Amino acid sequence: MADTRQPFDFGVLDLLLSHKRTLRELLLAAVQYRHLLNEALAIHVEDGRDMVVVREEITAEAGISTRQATELAVGLLARTFVGLLGEHWKPRSVNFAHCGPQDLSFHRRFFGCPVVFASDFNGIVCAAEDLDRPNPNADPELVRYAESLAKPLNVSGPGSIVLDVRKAIYLLLPIEQATVDEVANHLHLSVRTMQRQLELADTTFSSLIEEVRQELAVRYLTNLRYPIGRVATLLGYSRQSSFTQWFTARFGMNPRAWRSSQENKLSPRIS
């Protein structure tokens, strides 16, 4: 599906995104207008000295496969970057948390770089300088015009704070930054404002942390390539024993036993 889409195929956001001055500004705008793009999509930029990781997550309830949606989202993001930088866009790698097909030729052709499956994250790795490379088609006047059209439409519903916090936790928990301060900062809110909005939505930050941690625990443990110690780290635990204690209290068995039970469910029965 991503292969058939054109860069910046986002309706009113087409003008806004395609004429931003840099990839960094484009990504900031994508976060700002997330309610117009995809309510279930979360984007986060991890800045390094020489390399940058642009992570994407599709938030979904436990048990719902996000493989196709994730590949579509990352594919559209890659197409958008190509549309902005053209031949100058040279990603270092594209990464997916799920396992890949036996034949990777299509993925490599589409992305034009190494494609890593069974990774710790979903997203794109590129050179840090690429985020600030000038867009030759940038037009501030068109951006201002597009913003005047998009802002009235970019209205979040009463329950959007819950979804926004959940998406931020999805992104920040695996990199050990899912604290109340970091999540509020990611959403450009004060901690007090975020907590007050969550109270109005009849939930709390700690409750959402637990919900997301349980959903991610199922996702990671279902992938047999993840050692249990690595799953513990991705869920914010520095010690595997603490993760085992938490998991057992919520799932009624330890992680190893739960994983074995899932394998047995999927194994073909011989009558």
Query: Which residues have CB under 8 Å from 88's CB, separation 6+?
Result: 130, 133
For position 103, what pLDDT does the model report? 92
Q: What distance in Å separates the CA atoms of residue 257 and residue 52, rounded to the nearest whole number? A: 37
Q: Calculate ∠ Cα 173-224-58, nearest 5°.
A: 40
Domain identity same for 97 and 197: no
Residue 264 one-letter amino acid: N
Contacts of 28 (CB under 8 A, 6+ apart): none
CA distances from 246 to 34, 89, 170, 172, 220 (A): 33, 43, 18, 19, 15
Question: What CA–CA distances, in Å, run from 1 to 4, 68, 103, 107?
Answer: 5, 10, 18, 12
Number of domains in the chain: 2
Q: Tally the C-alpha atoms within 13 A of residue 72's C-alpha that lie toward its C-beta.
A: 11
Which of 12-26, 105-119, 151-165, 217-231 shows the lowest mean pLDDT across its residues? 151-165
Residue 25 neighbours by CB under 8 Å, 6+ apart: none
**93 and 124, same domain (yes or no):** yes
Residue 254, pLDDT above cutoff 50 = yes
Quick one: what percent of the chain has pLDDT higher than 90? 38
Average pLDDT over residues 239-243: 94
> In terms of Cα–Cα distance, which of 52, 100, 111, 105 is closest to 77?
111
59 and 184 share one domain: no
Stated as kind and residue range, the H or E segment containing 95 is strand 93-95
For residue 227, give its domain range: 160-259
Is residue 148 domain-shared with residue 171, that is, in the same domain? Answer: no
- pLDDT tens readout for residues 32-70: 776 666 667 788 888 877 899 999 888 766 666 788 889
For residue range 155-179, list pLDDT tens digits in order: 555 568 898 899 899 889 988 889 9
What is the pLDDT at residue 269?
A: 45
Instruction: Express each pLDDT in 205-221 by its tens digit.
Output: 999 999 999 988 998 89
pLDDT digits (tens, 9 = 90+) for 112-141: 999 999 888 899 999 999 988 888 888 888
Residues 6 and 140 in one domain: yes
DSSP character at residue 139: -
CATH number of domain containing 225: 1.10.10.60
Confidence band of 271 (pLDDT split at 50, 70, 90): very low
User: Does 6 lie in the same domain as 102?
Assistant: yes
List the structure tokens of 264. Answer: 């047995």
Helices (H) then strands (E): counts for the chain: 14, 5
Output the CA–CA distances (angstroms, integers) from residue 263 to 112, 136, 173, 215, in the order listed. 35, 52, 26, 18
Q: Is residue 137 one of the residues assigned to a domain?
A: yes
Give the span between the Cα atoms of 258 and 81, in whole angstroms.
40
H/E element, 186: helix 180-186
Stretch 188-212: mean pLDDT, rounded?
93
What distance in Å separates the CA atoms of residue 69 and residue 76, rounded to the nearest whole number? Answer: 11
Cβ atoms of residues 74 and 97 within 8 Å:
no
Residue 269 covered by a domain: no
pLDDT of residue 158: 57
β partners of residue 171: none
pLDDT digits (tens, 9 = 90+) for 67-104: 888 999 899 889 888 888 888 899 999 999 888 898 99
Please name the helix (run of DSSP H) or strand (run of DSSP E) that holds residue 45, with its range, or none: strand 41-47
Check: CB of residue 57 under 8 Å from CB of residue 77.
no
Mark whether 171 and 92 lie in a shared domain.
no
| Secondary structure letter of residue 3 according to DSSP | G
